[in-house]
């Protein structure tokens, strides 16, 4: 049993590594995660704020540029000082900025962002080799993040 209500994937599968969120979400379908809703929002913009209001504890999965080697993954706590200024989403509207708004309007009490460093978010329907190679260990780490929430 986990304290996580939902895993929300963000990303566009037609923008190469930006599709890593939905790809990891698909891989979670093979795992035992009772009472955890799997939600694919694509590139949601401000819709994310409304969806977050439905849950108390969420893990968001997304391609996040945090200056690491492509395929590197990390769990971020948006409440930590400095997270919003250093790490950036690949979407038009920055996920960390949206989380600040969601917090101000009483979003989930607990949010973690499971970020995977992209190599490329150019147009294309496949992940780069570096990001694709990290899917198995990233999936395991994502399950640990969900179970640890």
Report the pLDDT averaged over residues 19-43. 94
At 113, is the secondary structure helix, strand, or coil? strand
Radius of gyration of the chain (CA): 14
CATH assignment of 6-147, given 3.40.50.12780, 3.40.190.10, 3.10.25.10, 3.40.50.1450? 3.40.50.1450
Q: Which two tokens stand for residue 103?
A: 């917090």
> Chain-wide mean pLDDT for the chain?
86
Q: What is the pTM of this model?
A: 0.85
C-alpha 106/C-alpha 93 separation (Å) is 19
pLDDT value of position 44: 80
CA 143 vs CA 15, 84, 91, 131, 136: distances in Å: 25, 24, 24, 18, 11
| Residue whose tokens read 């969601």 | 102
pLDDT value of position 103: 64
> Would you list the domain boundaries of the chain?
6-147
Q: Classify 109 in phi/psi space as left (phi over 0), alpha (psi -120 to 50) or beta.
A: alpha
Whether the pLDDT of residue 104 is over 60: the answer is no
Whether the pLDDT of residue 15 is over 70: the answer is yes
Instruction: Give residues with Cβ within 8 angstroms of 73, minimum separation 6.
Output: 114, 115, 116, 117, 134, 137, 138, 141, 142
Whether the pLDDT of residue 87 is over 60: the answer is no
| Residue whose tokens read 């999936």 | 139
pLDDT value of position 30: 87
């Amino acid at each position: 049993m986990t304290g996580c209500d939902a895993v929300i994937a963000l990303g566009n599968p037609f923008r190469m590594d930006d599709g890593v969120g939905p790809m990891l979400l698909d891989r979670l379908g093979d795992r035992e995660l009772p009472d955890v809703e799997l939600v694919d929002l694509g590139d949601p913009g401000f819709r994310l704020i409304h969806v977050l209001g439905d849950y108390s504890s969420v893990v968001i999965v997304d391609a996040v540029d945090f200056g690491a080697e492509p395929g590197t993954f990390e769990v971020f706590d948006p409440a930590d000082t400095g997270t919003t200024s250093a790490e950036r989403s690949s979407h038009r509207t920055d996920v960390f900025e949206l989380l600040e708004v969601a917090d101000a309007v009483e979003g989930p009490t607990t949010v973690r962002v499971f970020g995977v460093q992209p190599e490329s978010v150019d147009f294309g329907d496949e992940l780069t080799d570096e990001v694709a190679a990290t899917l198995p260990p990233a999936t395991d780490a994502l399950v640990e993040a969900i179970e640890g929430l």
